[in-house]
Chain A
């Protein structure tokens, strides 16, 4: 029995425990404890994240001649710890008051708890996979687990989008299966090492097919272009903390497999050997990543539902991760990997703030909110920290990972990708400002006058996550050893790091200094503001310039709808729904064939076919006789 076995046993027991008690009141207290327990199990395995050996499981299965085993590398551990922290935060968040409200609203709370632990279980199973078959099984588990989470919402739209998701996910799984089959067919083995061995033996076109299949499979999970359509709506419609959890980590399983399979076993050499020198696979993937940062971000900018806005950003941020890792150098890949953790932390926090706002006001429509900062200051603080992280501004952690990605693009001389990444960041800034402005700033609505701050059971995880967002931004060196171990374990160049950031010959980064300077600046700014000048007077929100009018509470004096009209006027015409069109046209083609076959079944063609068959057969008999005679 190794530590990994213990982990599996503990996770599985937690799954059983929660599924047993899920409808009892005790689940509220038990679930966070259990996630804490799993977290402790992971911490016991922490040596793997500091350069220790990978843990192997002593379980193995031999089914139908396929061998399966499990292992935990630095990469698995890194993703697992993010998963568990997100799960713990979501569990704490949903226990208590939020859960009560959810139950009263007709939600199936026990099922939500169950869905969460099922997700955690399947993710641990996937992360621990030791060969292609266990990877595939874990992969399917994760897909179905997120589906379970998504369908919980009673809304029709949620169910529709969940079905859409599962069709996409199944497409990905099938692509993965074909890829596995291609690998298996060569040497009758499903070990990971076979990927590189088989890849080297393959012909050029098979290599292209293999890489594309693998990429399609993983890209669908991660919501990369052009497979991004399912994700945002599906996540946005998932019940509160579930959305936070899924948005934080679920689609990053695609990132995990990309690192595990494409980066580790096909590698830069493999990607570059496919295609011409001008446009090889690396270029293709990098551009997919770049477009993924841009297009979903600008779709997010159009949304007027807070959850959907965030979910679209989740899609967009996936592009940065891929963009970083696909550079294959020490800083780029570190940035890509680190962005997984960073994104998980602020995305979960942001989703939770939106859910908290919904908890109090009942809506996440950005056109129906405003001015809540006076009522919910702590939630506002969390959202502020979160959006600074999401936009990638110092001193939050999003800045560090994005800085690493930019730096890598600079070093590798990729100006267009660099501009694309910046374009994504700028779009994000615009969009998150709209989010916080329409929710917390501006005029407070009359019906929200009595809204209070959310209870502590919801505030604690939010605040905890924002502390992570800040601390890992202030001292990225806490995370960087893990990243370095991951890089070492998948064979990438290892990043040189210290507590404040990275060392790099042509300009490094030291976040302690950067944050220090920034806070010094703020300090001086505050000094100037508070100690110079007269004392300010707080006025009512209606005491406002209105071109000579008096404002009353029935006047909506808040600018929220169509927030960026100039920009939309220009780029609005670019939102042609091309991908939606693509998806629909696939459906139309399917319909066409479907009708075609339907008519075949209705018509007499079968008899016609029979006639042809019989004529041929009898002629054959006749000729045969002739030959014999």
Chain B
């Protein structure tokens, strides 16, 4: 079990835990903002995993490449990728935040469950049907009249 206590092992462990915490947050949170934060954590964990994939212990920054130093450099590609991913992530989070504001304004609640049930009701009303999951009878089981066999 040695390798778990190397630097990479610990870093990976941290990154993975972060992802799982984030996802767990997504599962248990009801508040919209907490959900968003969980998403941020999840994404951060994933970014860490990605950046770790190019990490080499005692490697040098890729920018100081001079060809004969003999030092191993960290892989630059994941770093570039992570930068992009972070940017995208921030964009999405900003969008989410603005949506949260609008939803809060309309529904007057930050609770996902309340919003879901209200949303379902609205959709059902739009479509002119009773919302799913209400206590209505199960699917119509109508016999053809006068049948007996």
Interface residues of A, Cβ cutoff 8 Å to B: 157, 160-161, 164, 228-229, 233, 295-296, 299, 302, 305, 575, 577-580, 584, 587-588, 590-592, 594-595, 598-599, 602, 604, 607-608, 610-611, 614-615, 618, 621-622, 625-626, 629
Contacts and interface: CB of A to CB of B under 8 A. Distances in A.
Contacts of B138: 588, 591-592, 595
Given A594-B139, A602-B133, 18 more contacts: A160-B142, A233-B144, A302-B148, A577-B148, A580-B143, A580-B148, A584-B143, A588-B141, A607-B23, A611-B23, A614-B19, A618-B20, A621-B12, A621-B49, A622-B13, A625-B8, A625-B9, A629-B3
Contacts of B49: 618, 621
Interface of A is mostly: helix
B27 interface: yes
Interface string B126-149: 000000110000110111111111
Contact of B144 (A164, A578, A579): A164
Contacts of A626: 3-4, 9
A228 B149 contact: yes
B19 A618 contact: yes
A160 B143 CA distance: 10
Contacts of A592: 138
A544 to B, nearest CB: 32
B149 A229 contact: yes
B149 A579 contact: yes
Nearest to B17: A618
B6 interface: yes
Contacts of B51: none
Interface in B94-149: 116, 120, 132-133, 138-139, 141-149
Given A229-B147, A580-B143, A580-B148, A598 B132 contact: yes
The 5 lowest CB-CB distance pairs between A and B, nearest first, are A629-B3, A591-B138, A618-B16, A591-B139, A626-B3
Contacts of B13: 622
Contacts of B19: 614, 618
A620 B130 CA distance: 45
Contacts of A621: 12, 16, 49
B141 A591 contact: yes
A611 B6 contact: no
A534 B67 CA distance: 137
Contacts of A578: 149
B26 interface: yes
Contacts of A295: 149
A459 B29 CA distance: 78
Contacts of A229: 147, 149
B144 A614 contact: no
A611 B3 contact: no
Contacts of A602: 116, 120, 132-133
Q: Which of A229, A296, A302, A625 has the most CB of B within 10 A?
A: A625
A607 B27 contact: yes
A480 B143 CA distance: 43
A580 B143 CA distance: 8
B144 A161 contact: yes
Contacts of B144: 157, 160-161, 164, 233
Contact of B141 (A164, A302, A584, A625): A584
Nearest to A237: B144
Nearest to B15: A618
Q: Which of A228, A302, A599, A622 has the most CB of B within 10 A?
A: A622
A9 B132 CA distance: 53
B9 to A, nearest CB: 7
Contacts of A587: 139, 141
A629 B141 contact: no
B2 to A, nearest CB: 8
Nearest to A610: B23
B86 to A, nearest CB: 20
Contacts of B16: 618, 621-622
B23 A614 contact: yes
Contacts of A610: 23
Given A229-B149, A618-B19, A611 B143 contact: no
A581 B31 CA distance: 47
A615 B22 CA distance: 12
Given A607-B26, A607-B27, A629-B3, A299 B148 contact: yes
B133 A580 contact: no
Contacts of A595: 138
Interface in B66-82: none
A602 B132 CA distance: 9
A604 B149 contact: no
A622 B19 CA distance: 13
Nearest to B4: A626
A44 B139 CA distance: 54
A455 to B, nearest CB: 32
B11 to A, nearest CB: 10
9 contacts: A228-B149, A299-B148, A579-B149, A580-B149, A594-B139, A611-B24, A621-B16, A625-B9, A629-B6
B3 A614 contact: no
A228 B149 CA distance: 9
A590 B6 CA distance: 54
A302 B146 CA distance: 10
B98 to A, nearest CB: 23
Interface in B5-46: 6, 8-9, 12-13, 16, 19-20, 23-24, 26-27
Contact of A615 (B4, B20, B149): B20
A621 B148 CA distance: 62
